Amino acid sequence: MSTTHYLVLSAILFCIGLYGVISRRNAVMVLLSIEIMLCSAGLNFACFSTIYNPSGQIFALFIIVVGAAEVACGLAIFFLSARLSETIDLDKFNLLKG
């Protein structure tokens, strides 16, 4: 196994996650796609840490923690906005539009 295999896998996952963010209308699905992208970044870091030094693993650990915190806050905001506006279609949240 070479690093190229892992990096190509990470690129594929990142692109799938990006497609999910672009094309999904439900806010929870967008959060799920962002999680896919975070996973692919972590995989990248862990792959390089086998060649250089353990900083890659430690940074991937921080990515996991930050991802979990972001999901908690994002879901709280989504819950509140769904309760207040009774719809979950992201295109309808356009109150701030100029």
Partner 1 sequence: MEIAFYILAGMAITSAILVVSLKNLVRAILALASLFLSIAGLYILLSAEFLGLVQILVYIGGVILLFLFLIMLTENLFEKSQVNLFQRITGIGLVLLLFGIFISILMKQPFQAIPKTDYSIQEIGKHLLTDYLVPFEVVSLLLLVALIGAIVIAKKEEE
Residues contributing to the site for partner 1 (CB under 8 A): 1-9, 11-20, 22-26, 28-29, 31-33, 35-36, 39, 42-43, 46-47, 49-51, 54-55, 57-58, 60-62, 64-73, 75-80, 82, 88-89, 91
CB atoms within 10 A of CB 17: 20
- Contact indicator for 51, 42 with CB cutoff of 8 Å: no
d(CA 31, CA 4): 28
Beta-carbon count within 10 A of 60 CB: 20
Helices of type H across 24-94: 27-49, 55-85
Give 73 or 96: the residue with its C-beta nearer to partner 1. Answer: 73
- The distance of closest approach from Cβ of residue 38 to partner 1 in the complex, given in angstroms and rounded to an integer, is 9
Minimal distance, residue 22 CB to partner 1, in Å? 4
Shortest distance (Å) from residue 24 CB to partner 1:
7
